[in-house]
Chains A and B, each alone.
Chain A
Amino acid sequence: EVQLLESGGGLVQPGGSLRLSCVASGFTFSSYTMSWVRQAPGKGLERVSGITDNSGDTYYADSVKGRFTISRDNFKNTLSLQMSSLRAEDTAVYYCVKGGTRETFDHWGQGTLVTVSS
Chain B
Amino acid sequence: EIVLTQSPGTLCLSPGERATLSCRASQSVSSNYLGWFQQRPGQAPRLLIYGASSRATGIPDRFSGSGSGTDFTLTISRLEPEDFAVYYCQQYGSSPVTFGGGTKVEIK
Question: Residues of A at under 8 Å CB distance from B?
Answer: 35, 44-47, 50, 59, 61, 95, 99-111
Task: Evaluate contact between A105 and B95: CB separation under 8 angstroms.
Answer: no
Residues of A within 8 A of B33 (CB): 102
Task: Evaluate contact between A102 and B93: CB separation under 8 angstroms.
Answer: yes
Closest Cβ–Cβ distance, residue B86 to chain A (whole Å) = 9
Most buried by A among B30, B44, B98, B101: B44
Contact with A along B1-37 (1 / 0, CB 8 A): 0000000000000000000000000000011010101
> Which one, A95, A105, A111, contacts B35 given CB within 8 A?
A105
B47 close to chain A: CB less than 8 A: yes
> Which one, A95, A100, A107, A108, contacts B97 given CB within 8 A?
A100
Interface of A is mostly: strand
Closest Cβ–Cβ distance, residue A100 to chain B (whole Å) = 7
Residues of B within 8 A of A61 (CB): 96
B65 close to chain A: CB less than 8 A: no
Residues of A within 8 A of B92 (CB): 99-105
Closest Cβ–Cβ distance, residue B9 to chain A (whole Å) = 11
Give bound CA distance, A103 to B37, whole Å.
15
Closest Cβ–Cβ distance, residue A105 to chain B (whole Å) = 6
Q: List 25 A-B contacts (CB under 8 A).
A: A44-B88, A44-B99, A44-B102, A45-B37, A45-B90, A45-B99, A47-B96, A47-B97, A59-B95, A61-B96, A95-B44, A99-B92, A100-B97, A101-B97, A102-B93, A104-B47, A104-B51, A104-B56, A104-B92, A105-B37, A106-B56, A108-B45, A108-B46, A108-B47, A109-B44
Give bound CA distance, A54 to B8, whole Å.
40
Give bound CA distance, A108 to B40, whole Å.
13
